[in-house]
Amino acid sequence: MSRIELAAEVADDFDRILVHLAQYQVENPGARIREIIEAINVLVHSPMLGRPTNNDKRELVIGHRSHGYVALYRYIVEVDTVFVLAVRSQQEAGWQGDMP
C-alpha cells in the first residue's frame, strides 16, 4: 500500500473550493471535500491510476460536471508515496501557479 502526502498548498485549494461552494450556496460543502479526499485515497492501492501529464505527474479525475475535480500528483516508486500537489475544479482553466 502506498502512502499519500498532501502538499501544504492543497489546504489552500480546499479553502478556495469551499469559498466557491459557499458563493453558490451549495448544501453541505464539507461533504464535497470528503468526497475528494475519499477519491484521492484510492491511490493508496492504485497509485498509477491517474492519467499521465508533464514531468512525471499524473491527474486523478474525481467526479464529473459540477462535482468534478482533478487532483494533480506525483508518485515516487522508490518511497512508495503519492504526493498530491494540487486539487482544482474540472471547470477551472488550468493549474494555478508553478507546480513542482
Q: Is residue 83 part of a domain?
A: yes
Q: Which three cell numbers stand for residue 34?
A: 470528503
**DSSP character string of 8-31:** THHHHHHHHHHHHHHHTT-S-HHH
Q: Is residue 98 part of a domain?
A: no
Q: Is residue 96 part of a domain?
A: no
Q: Is residue 100 part of a domain?
A: no
Indicate if the pLDDT at residue 6 is higher than 50.
yes
Give the predicted TM-score (pTM) of the model: 0.88
> What is the tally of structural domains in the chain?
1
Helices and strands (DSSP H and E) totals, the chain: 2, 5
Q: What is the pLDDT of residues 52-69, one digit of tens each?
A: 999 999 999 998 876 789
Domain that holds residue 62: 3-89
Q: Is residue 21 part of a domain?
A: yes
Domain at 63, CATH number: 3.30.2310.20
Q: What percent of the chain has pLDDT over 70?
A: 91
